[in-house]
Amino acid sequence: MSEDAVDVEELDDLEGGPSYCTYTDYDHGVAVEELPATGEDADGPEAAVFDELRAVEDPEMPISVVDLGLIYSVTVADGHATVTMTLTYTGCPARDYLQEDVRQAAARAAGVDSAEVELVWSPEWNLEMVTEAGKADLREFGVSV
Amino acid sequence: MTLEGPDDLSDRERAAVEAELRCLGDDEFVTAERYTEWQVRGPTLEADIAVANIAQDELGHARLWYDLLEAFGHDQVDLIWERDPADFRHATLAERPYETGDWADPVLRGYLYDTYERLRVEALSESAYAPIADRVEKVLGEEEYHREHAHNWLERLCEDADGRRRVQAALDRLFPHALTLFARTDREEAVVDTGVRPVPLSELRREWRNVVTPFLGSLGLEVPVADHEALLPAARGRDGDHTDAWESLYNEFTFTYEQLGRDSAPALMPEPGEADADV
């Protein structure tokens, strides 16, 4: 920005005065190709890890972490599983709980001796990460998606 | 050049990353601590919920930045509960007490802070340290609502003379402290020339004044125009020199830890990776 530039975007909403909170529906965001990882094409111990992860539910809603789109990748090398995942919200109070659930699930899979979880934040999670099966689970629960 | 993780850093780069992270993390943590004083005291139920939610967001962001310091071997005890208060690097804006019962104070403070935060975090999208850049998009996505909340309340408050007078008083009181957000980090030269934050603070400050001055002016407020050097308060925060309000705030959030004689941060469950895999 040049020295005298005014940030127009920040001034835009001045015209109509204060606006009411409009957060009654959610921005769907942009679909990121190849994300989330759902394990559809996985085989061997990686497929076994995905099977275990599908049994791990979000602590607040009856939806698996796989269908919620939190899992970004699973690799298994020499019996050690690495799960890369994100969270919907940085302030998530269940962060450690969920990470540990995921780690233990991965470690239970056939062909896996040990597991670790790596937390990543980009690409940013958004509603497009939820699978069709996940959307059906959320609707069933009463969440409009 | 991209620095992928802690092992790729020279001593100088690591010191630069640490210096930047301490400013980011401490600002967020202390700002959130102050916000919690408004919970159940906001002017409307909706305002209570909003400020509680913003505080939670800022704590989430503090954790994102502190996580990266933990990757250097620090832990929650030395980052928060047992840290010497003089080692905190937040700007004095974060620690100043609220004017009792004056809702204009947290609203205006939030506006000044969140406008700054957007600019600094945007600058970090180009950080040479990949773990910092990885967090930027997520933080920015959560910050947009904070500015919208502040904008709406500022417009509402400035619609009548009494409200505007109170926002003006908060502006006169807080603007100098907001300028400490742009005070140098402990390793400022290295932060910029290693590309940890490729944009110098002077440029961020200029951009920030170019945003806040016309916006606040359009609400009928008088924004200080003097050079920052003439406006800055005696204590700058970023160098560990804090205002008198800091000691009591520090004592408050460490009170329970002290009272219970803790020497570690208790957790309800083991940290990820520390539990037995066979559980």
User: Which residues does chain B have within 8 Å of residue A123's beta carbon, measured at their own beta carbons?
Assistant: 137
Both structure tokens of B19: 């210096």
- Mean per-residue pLDDT of chain B: 94
DSSP-based three-state secondary structure for A51: helix
- Average pLDDT estimate for A66-81: 97
The confidence band for A144, taking pLDDT boundaries of 50, 70 and 90, is: confident
Does residue B173 have a pLDDT over 70?
Answer: yes
Percent of chain B with pLDDT over 90: 91
**What pLDDT was estimated at residue A63?**
96
**What pLDDT was estimated at residue A17?**
58
Domain count, chain B: 1
Does residue A45 have a pLDDT over 80?
Answer: yes
CB-closest option in B67, B206, B218 to A3: B206
Does residue A71 have a pLDDT over 70?
Answer: yes
Please report the number of interchain residue pairs, chain A to chain B, with beta-carbon separation below 8 angstroms.
98
Query: Which helix (H) or strand (E) segment is B105 a member of?
Result: helix B104-123
Q: Is residue B138 domain-resident?
A: yes
- Average pLDDT estimate for B20-24: 98
Among the listed ranges A18-32, A35-49, A106-120, which one has the minimum average pLDDT value? A18-32
**What pLDDT was estimated at residue B271?**
66
- Average pLDDT estimate for B148-166: 97
Does residue B81 have a pLDDT over 60?
Answer: yes
Measured CA to CA, the distance from residue B25 to residue A42 in angstroms comes to 39
DSSP-based three-state secondary structure for A101: helix
Q: Does domain A8-141 have CATH number 1.20.1050.10?
A: no
- Average pLDDT estimate for B65-76: 96
The confidence band for B1, taking pLDDT boundaries of 50, 70 and 90, is: low
Q: Is residue B270 domain-resident?
A: no
Both structure tokens of B84: 């010497």
- Average pLDDT estimate for B96-114: 96
Show me where the domains of chain A are located. 8-141
Domain containing B59 equals 6-259
Percent of chain B with pLDDT over 70: 95
Compare A30 and B228 and report the one with higher pLDDT: B228
Q: Which residue has the tokens 């601590």?
A: B33
- For residue range B217-264, list pLDDT tens digits in order: 999 999 999 999 999 999 999 999 999 999 999 999 999 999 999 999
Sheet holding A114-119, edge to edge: A71-77, A80-85, A114-119
Q: Is residue B268 domain-resident?
A: no
CB-closest option in A17, A21, A96 to B271: A96
Best residue in B126, B167, B211, B279 for a mutation probing chain A (most A CBs within 10 Å): B211
Query: In chain A, which among 75-104 make CB contacts under 8 A with chain B?
Result: 89-92, 95-97, 99-100, 103-104
Best residue in A10, A25, A113, A128 for a mutation probing chain B (most B CBs within 10 Å): A10
The confidence band for A32, taking pLDDT boundaries of 50, 70 and 90, is: confident
In A39-108, the DSSP E strands lie at 71-77, 80-85
Compare A27 and A99 and report the one with higher pLDDT: A99
Contact A38/B at CB under 8 A = no
Whole-prediction pTM value? Answer: 0.89
> Are the Cβ atoms of A122 and B64 closer than 8 angstroms?
no
Measured CA to CA, the distance from residue B118 to residue B138 in angstroms comes to 12
Q: Is residue B278 domain-resident?
A: no
User: Which residues does chain A have within 8 Å of residue B63's beta carbon, measured at their own beta carbons?
Assistant: 90-91, 95
Among the listed ranges A128-137, B39-48, B181-190, which one has the minimum average pLDDT value? B39-48
For residue B65, give the CATH number of its domain.
1.20.1260.10
Cα A121 to chain center, whole Å? 9
- For residue range A98-125, list pLDDT tens digits in order: 999 999 999 999 999 999 999 999 999 9
**What pLDDT was estimated at residue A89?**
94
Does residue A68 have a pLDDT over 70?
Answer: yes
Both structure tokens of B61: 């962001």
DSSP state of B42: S
Contact A24/B at CB under 8 A = no
- For residue range B30-42, list pLDDT tens digits in order: 999 999 999 889 9
> Are the Cβ atoms of A107 and B211 closer than 8 angstroms?
no
- For residue range B40-57, list pLDDT tens digits in order: 899 999 999 999 999 999
Q: Which residue of B has its CA nearest to A120?
A: B134
- For residue range A84-98, list pLDDT tens digits in order: 999 999 999 889 999
Both structure tokens of B178: 């907001």
Q: Is residue B31 domain-resident?
A: yes
DSSP labels for B161-221?
HHHHHHHHHHHHHHHHHHHGGGSPPTTHHHHHHTTSS-S-HHHHHHHHHHHHHHHHHHTT-
The confidence band for A1, taking pLDDT boundaries of 50, 70 and 90, is: very low
**What pLDDT was estimated at residue A3?**
43
Q: Which residue of B has its CA nearest to A125?
A: B138
Does residue B278 have a pLDDT over 50?
Answer: no
